[in-house]
Structures are given as structure tokens and as C-alpha cells.
Structure 1
Amino acid sequence: MTASLAPFEDASRKRKQAIASAPASLNGASRSKRPRTIAHTPSSKHLLTVQHPQGIKPLGNFLFDSSRGIRECRSAGLGYAAALSDELVLDLLSRLQPAELCRLAQCSKALYCFAYHEDLWRALTVRLYGQGGWGTFAYNWRETLKKKICAERKRTFVRDQPIQVDGFYSDLLFTSFRCASAPLRELCGVETDNIDRRSDLTYETFMKEYGTPNRPVIITDVVTKWPAYGKWSTEYLLEHCGDKIFRAESVDIPFRDYVTYAEQCNEEAPLYLFDKKFAENTTLAEDYHVPLYFKEDFFSVLGDQRPDYQWLIIGPARSGSTFHVDPNSTSAWNAVITGAKKWVMYPPEVVPPGVFPSPDGSEVTTPLSLSEWFLNFYMETKNSPVKPVECVCRAGEMVFVPCGWWHCVMNLEPSIALTQNFVATSNLPSVLRFLKYRRDQVSGSCYGTELYERFTEALNHINPGLIYDIEAKDDIQENAKIVNRLEKRESFWDRIMKSDEGINIGAEGRGFSFAFGGDD
């Protein structure tokens, strides 16, 4: 028995030594399935003014606290399990049932901090009552699940009072709290707004300046003319759709219950209502119309079998979408009915900082939440050579999102919005290329990998020869780009011979030495 525990004892000893010598700069060394870090920006220290409800602190605080006589409680509280990383401890706890987690929380201060982590209880609640069956949201996910179980067992529900713990340090647990608590105005840089705002645009002007060049723009005089503007509100939707089931990420939930959740939740990545069937289940589609600029939509030739394209979007502050490119190489418009949204956009050829797409683009690794991206990577955009397009889209405004553009969206306040994807003449070549050569990445279509054939067949039936002309022209343009790149490409030797830094000729001109640096 002693021999089998030796590796854990050794690892535990090493962790204690690491904690004892941890510099303050370790304030973000934790790793999860995706990067999980704490930002080291000049302003980040001003982004948090409240204390963690359990008193958890980042690992870097241990040096200062230990000098005041505060002892670290993780090692003793976890026993041999202290050798495990925080991620592994949470992974193990995620396999337990509610009663087991509650009992475990009573065993030590360290286990109490882990067992009360909000992400555990959210996953547990969704797992047990996945389709919105947890009833009325109560304060947080742990209390919600506890209240549901008490109601089922006819027991009195008593709300928890958090216990303050001294001496528990975890970058992983603290980061979730920090991301859920940092003030959004400072976090998102709402004062930066470098997008065009236009009104009274003709269709020709829009296509010339934005549609064909594939440039984003905010249009300010369309949404204000819709019946939805000034009519839709949380109260209005509750009255007309309160019992309707909407999709919030992976959860189907009555709208009434979602509103209760959205008004009370306080987490870094709230559930985001993103429903594609609202037009089928409600009369809300009667309250808006597709703007003139986006009437052209070639996917409409597929009728009811077209890929998913329209969504009702509702969410509290801090909810939103992490960096992504819209599906199937489509363009989109996003109209804000109430609230305000922070947008950060990058052109197709520029990958945002902190975002790591696979070579074929089929998978994208990003920070765990929007708040985490803003906390860790937003300041980096200020010093990068390519600045993103940033804006705050407010109620009554509409953003045009060109095809292929990376973008993330953060709700700065409770918001109601509509979005629709479309295929116009300007992006039809890229859509055809995507459907033909990236079949495994096609999404939202009942045809799956055969969407290209179904789409081109339907389009050719209406406009014979259109597909052939477009693809022939597109092939010529792509080949021209390749030739242009090859003609401009220099050999490694040519680059060295042209570089002032690459060759160092001696004072007497008798020889040279190579100096390799930078990308070379």
C-alpha cells in the first residue's frame, strides 16, 4: 500500500514546493481543454473589485499571504488527491451525484471550494434535467438543483450561506469568478468604434462600397422602421411566447423559465438563447422584413430544404458568441431590437489572437468564454499591426457581417436580436467552393455532404449556365493568385543577399557571415 502511494506523495511534495516558490506571475498558468489564463495587462488589476464568495484567490497571492502567516489548505484538504491538477479534480467531481458532492463539501475546506464550483452544478443540472426541466432558476445552479430536488422530495428548501475560506489558491477556480465579475465596459473597450455607420444607402451604393468589397458596416435606418422595434420587449415576449419552447445552446427551455434564469444568473458564459425555429413556432416573423440590401439569397432556391439561416437571439449581459466564421461561407446581417452588443471582427486572412483553427478550418480552439478572451487577448489587439473592426451595435442598428470574417459578439446588456445568413452574388463563388471542397464542414443542412449537388442542380434549373460561368471565372482568379504568389516568391538565397541584416561584411570587405533572425 505504501509503495503504491509513493508517486502521489512525491507529486504532492513537488506541488507544495512549487506553491512555496510560486512567483506572482503564475497568476494564470492553469490549463483546461482550451487555454485558461489570467491576463497580464496594465489595466487588468482594475477589472475586479469584489471578493470571491468562497474566498478563493489566484495562486500568485500565496507569497504575500504566506508572509502574513496564512497557510495553504489545499494539500491537507485533498490528501493524496492533492497531487492531481485542479482540472483533474474537477473532472473527477463531475462524475458524482448531487448528494455525493454535498457530502464531499463537508470533508475539508479545499473540497468545499471544489464542490461548490458553479460549472459543476450547471453541468449536473443540465445532465439531470436537460430540457429545461429544472423549473424556476434560483440564484445559481447549485441552489436551482437543490430546490428542484427538495420539491420532488417534499422537503423545505433552505438557501445556502457561502463560507469564507482562508488559504485556498486556484487559478482555475478564480478565473471563472473573475470572468463573471469584471465590469463589461472596461473589459470590452466600448469606447473603440471604428466601423462605418451609414443610412439612406441605395442598393448600388451598398454593393459598391460594402457588398462587393466584402466590408462590414452598420446600417442605422432599417431596424427602426420594423414593427418589432419599440414593440418587442421581455414583457411582450413573455405575454405572447411565455410558454413556447426555445433553444438555448444545448437546452430546450420554456421562454418564461429562460427569462427567470437570465435575470438572476451571474456566470462567465450564460446560456444564450439562439433559436432557429422561432418563425415556425411564433408569429414574430411578421414583425420584420429582410432589408433591400440582403434580398438576394441564392439558398432560397432550395425552399424549405435550405440550410439553417435565421435565428432569434436573446441573452443577458455577458452572453454571446466566441470567435467563429459563419457557416458554409455565407454572409449575414444581425439586427439589435433591444440592448447593445460589442463586436470584434477580423478579415478572413487574419486569425484573431488566442484563436487557433486547424489547417483545414474544421476545428477552432478558443478561450473557454468571451470574457476570458477579452481579459487575456483584447489588449493585444491594440498593439497588433492589423487592427480589428470594433463597434457597439445598439438598439435600432444592424451589422452587415461579410462572408469569411472572424467575429465575436458580447452582449453588454440584456438584448433581443435577429440574424439571418444569405448567399448573394458577391459571395456565391466562395459558397460554391466551400460546398464543393469542404463537404465535411457543411452544417445546418439535411443534405449533408451532398448539399453542393442539390444546390447547383436547383440553381441551374432556374438559371442555366450560371454555375459554370461562376466556377470557370473563380478557377481563373484562383490560378492567377497562385501564379502571382509564385512569381513574387524569392529563394532563400535571394532574401539573404537582399537583407542588410542577413550579411555582415567585414571592415576590409574580406568575407561575410550569416545572421539568421526573424521569420527566416
Structure 2
Amino acid sequence: MTNSEPQRITLPPLQITLHDEQKVSLQWLPQSQPKSNLPAVEPQPELSDAWKQWVALNKLMNLPDAVLVERMVEKGVDVKLALDAVSQASDHPYFKAGEQFVQLLQKVESMWKIQHQLASLSEAAQTVDRKPTISRSEFLDHYYAKNTPLILTNIIKNWKALERWTPEYLRQHYGEAKVEIQAGRDGDPEYELNLERHRKTVKFSEYIDWVISGQETNDYYMVANNGNLDRPEMKGLLNDIEICTEYLDPNQTRGRIFFWFGPAGTVTPLHHDPVNLFLAQVSGRKLVRLMPPSQTPFVYNQVGVFSRVDLENPDYQKYPLFKNVRPIEFILEPGEVIFIPVGWWHHVRSLETSISVSMTNFVFPNHYEWKYPNLGR
């Protein structure tokens, strides 16, 4: 056979080429799509990955499907998309893997819940010991090391602050100082989580005028995170208190002693602290509600150290487990100090114009490793 041009036979969708030496090659031809008289189909909207993650997280936390759909629709999600996402999430293999991991967390939660059940058998679990003063060893053995709260009624009786710290005194001696406060809190239910948005620097005399205006409000408050006792122009206030060396280290005051000052109506929402602390009440009264760490499974701690629940107006549809919470409630009077152990949940409301000092500079170790949740944040 002599060399010649290859022969091509076209049989759509194939083209067959015959070569010398009996070689054959096949090639698929590109196909043109037939025209259709049917209308074009609009692409269907899809739920974003962020919403899918939100659905999975909340289903793993056993929130009712109806509640999830309602919240999604409230935020503008198409109702069909919401229904499909909520109903189909449980079948996804990633979700099933997450369920297995949740079982490990549920084991820890079950231990907390059992401790809560046992504590509920005793009326003593709903009280806090009150003592004038106790020795360092007794405080360590029976309260600090046992993670148990205590009210001490006589350890700050020598504080000059108890008599001096009136609004008039503060204005006269520190009125020109620049201080930091939290402001604009009433317009933001998550003012503690959004702390940085609410920092405001004002002249102390101006803030004092707000406080003594007679208005009951939570819109502005001078809190621990404002760090005012570390300001050079405010450090003179430390001369009006005495560090009780039976429990506290006088050489460790910077960043560990904090000044609280605000009108009636200020609220510190439900949270726990990452360290042990003393809260000393200088003037005014505060309503304190305490809950032990064993109630953690009920408080919806989804971000940092804060509960999602408004303790004063709980939404039991959104947070049904909160019905199990049994707070210990009492009023902290001027001259009293409450020891709040690390990890204890607490909510505080000022009943009157109030000044408090909190301290974390204990003579005992007071540093702990924490893992904080950040669900849906």
C-alpha cells in the first residue's frame, strides 16, 4: 500500500479516520444544543454557608426546629430555604460527626447537672456564709480552695473611702481628671460583648453630674474594664483604702484593683469571671444573684464569659434550659465584701447610686487556663 491521504468518515457524533497500515482513530465531534421553546429556568437561591453553619450549631444545641425557622425568616431568609435547611441538616455526614463530638461534651454537662441536682436537695445551697472576718488559713481551706462564696462584713471597716467617697468629695479632688466610662449601653443589648464600641472619655466632674442627676439608668457606667485606678490622676483614691493583707497582696495592685461608680439601675449582666475576686461595697446597695458553675449547662454560655440570657427577663422559648437555674439572691450592703469564686455566675444590679471596688490580687494563686466558646459570633 502506498502512502496516501487519510480517509475520514463522519458519522455524528463520531469522525472516523483511516490511516495507512490499517490504523483507525476516532474523534467525538462537538455537539450544538438544540433550541428550545421552553422559558429559561432561573437559578434557585441557595442558603449561605454562614446560615448552614448557624443551623447546624443550633440543632446540635437542641434548639427546636420551629424556633430556628422562625429566626431565619425574621432575618429575611426565604421560608422554603429555611425549612429545607433545618429539616435536612441532620442527614449531612458532617453533622453526624459533630453529633458524636457533642456526646463528649454532654458527658461533662451530665456531671454538672448531677451536682446541681444534689445541691438542690439542701436549702444551705441557696445561702452564702456571712462572717465578720476569718483567718487566712480558714479562708483558704473552706472557701478559696473549695470554690465557695463568702460575705465578709468587717474587713474594710477602716477604709477612709467609706466616709470620703461622696460625689462632692470626688468632684472636689478628682473632678478635672479625664476618666473612661461605658456609654450608650441602653441601645445595645450586647453592650458587654461590644465593649470597645462603648468606651468614652469624659471629665470626671461631667460624669459625676450624670450620676447624681437622679435618673435610674443603665446607659452609662464606670466599670472595671475602664481601668481608671491605673490613671496617674486617679491613683490617689488608693490611699483611701487598705489592702487586707490576710488575703490580699499589697505589692500587686496595678491592673488588679478596679473602681465601679454609677447610678441606680446599672447592671452587670450574667457572666462569670476567669479569676477569684473580692467585691467591696463602699456606698449604695447592690442586688447580687449568684449561681455555681454546676449551673453552666443551663445559662447558654455561647460567647466568652457571658450568658445569652437576660436574667431579669428570660425568654424561655429561646432558652428553655434556663428554667433550671436557681440563683442565690442577696443585697450587698455598704461596708460588706463578697468573695466571688472563679467560675461562679453572677448578675449585679445597683439599687442606688453606687461605688464599689473589686480586687483580684490574692496571696494565693489566681491564674487559670480557660477555653472560651465563640458560637455564631
TM-score category (smaller protein): 0.5 to 0.7
Correspondence for 1:263 among 212, 215, 218: 212
Cα distance in 2 between the residues matched to 1:424 and 1:349: 26
Structure with the bigger percentage of helix: 1
CA distance in 1 between partners of 2:131 and 2:315 (Å): 30
CA contact (8 A) 1:195 1:390 kept: no
Which secondary structure does the structure 2 equivalent of 1:294 belong to?
coil
Greater strand content: 2
State the match for 1:400 in structure 2: 339
Provide the rounded CA distance (Å) in 2 between the counterparts of 1:325 and 1:374.
Answer: 17
Q: Distance in 2 between matches of 1:363 and 1:220?
A: 28
Counterpart residue number, 2:54: none
Distance 1:325 1:317 in 2: 22
- 1:342 aligned to which of 287, 294, 298: 287
2:359 counterpart of 1:415: no
What is the TM-score when the length of structure 1 is the normalising length?
A: 0.40
> SS of the residue aligned with 2:356?
strand
1:322–1:366: 8 Å Cα contact kept in structure 2? no
CA distance in 1, matches of 2:213, 2:269: 22
Asked whether the 8 Å contact 1:352–1:406 carries over to 2, the reply is: no
CA distance in 2, matches of 1:352, 1:391: 23
Aligned position for 1:277: 228
Q: What is the aligned partner in structure 2 of residue 332 from structure 1? A: 277
Q: Are the equivalent residues in 2 in contact too, given 1:226–1:287 (CA < 8 A)?
A: yes
2:247 equivalent among 294, 309, 312: 294
Cα RMSD of the aligned pairs, angstroms, is 3.5
1:216 aligns with 2:149: yes
Cα distance in structure 1, aligned partners of 2:278 and 2:244: 9
Matched, 1:356 2:307: no
* d(CA) in 2 for partners of 1:213, 1:273: 31
Supply the distance in 1 between the matched residues of 2:214 and 2:155 (Cα, whole angstroms). Answer: 32
SS of equivalent residue, structure 1 residue 356: coil
Kept in 2: contact 1:211–1:426 (CA 8 A) = no
Which amino acid counterpart does residue 340 of structure 1 have in structure 2? Answer: R
Q: 1: distance between equivalents of 2:286 and 2:152? A: 14
Cα gap change, 1:439/1:323 in structure 2, threshold over 3 Å: closer, same or farther? closer
User: Does residue 1:252 correspond to 2:181, yes or no?
Assistant: no
Once structures 1 and 2 are overlaid, which stretch shifts more, 270-279 or 335-344? 270-279
Offset of residue 418 of structure 1: 0.8
Query: How is 1:236-247 mapped onto 2 (pairs within 5 angstroms)?
Result: 236-247=169-180
Cα shift at 1:291: 1.8
Match of 2:268 in 1: 321
- Alpha-carbon shift at residue 290 of structure 1 (Å): 2.0
User: 2-side partners of 1:377 and 1:397: how far apart?
Assistant: 33
Contact persistence 2:292–2:343 (CA under 8 A): yes
Judge conservation of contact 2:248–2:362 (CA < 8 Å) in 1: no
- Once the two structures are TM-superposed, the CA of residue 332 in structure 1 deviates from its matched residue by 0.7
Deviation at 1:411, TM superposition (A): 0.3
Residues 214 and 285 of structure 1, relative CA distance in 2, 3 Å threshold:
same
> Does structure 2 conserve the Cα–Cα contact (< 8 Å) formed by 1:342 and 1:390?
yes
Whether the 8 Å CA contact 1:248–1:273 is kept in 2: the answer is yes
Q: Does the C-alpha gap of structure 1 residues 348 and 365 become closer, same or farther in structure 2, counting only changes over 3 Å?
A: closer
Residue 265 (structure 1) shift: 6.5
Given that residues 333 and 399 in structure 1 are in contact (C-alpha distance below 8 angstroms), is that contact kept between their aligned partners in structure 2? Answer: yes
Of the three residues 257, 262, 278, the one matched with 1:310 is: 257
Secondary structure of the 2:293 match is coil
- For 1:373, the equivalent position in structure 2 comes to 311
AA partner of residue 422 (structure 1) = N
Distance change (3 Å), C-alpha of 1:287 and 1:423: closer
* Alpha-carbon distance, 1:266 to partner: 4.1
Q: Which one has the largest radius of gyration?
A: 2
Q: For the Cα contact (< 8 Å) 2:243–2:249, is it kept in 1?
A: no
Structure 1 portions without partners, runs of 5+: 1-30, 36-83, 86-192, 441-520
Alpha-carbon distance change, 410 to 259 in structure 1, aligned in 2, over 3 angstroms:
same
Q: What are the superposed Cα offsets for residues 376-405 of structure 1, whole Å, 9 maximum, x if unpaired?
A: 479x99x96663222111111111111111
- Identity over the aligned pairs, expressed in percent? 23
- Aligned counterparts of 2:297 and 2:159: Cα–Cα separation in 1: 34
**Residues 228/247 of structure 1: CA separation in 2 closer, same or farther (3 Å cut):** same
Aligned partners of 1:335 and 1:417 also within 8 Å = yes
Note if contact 1:332-1:402 (Cα within 8 Å) is conserved in structure 2: yes
Q: Give unmatched runs, 5+ long, in structure 2.
A: 1-66, 76-125, 183-198
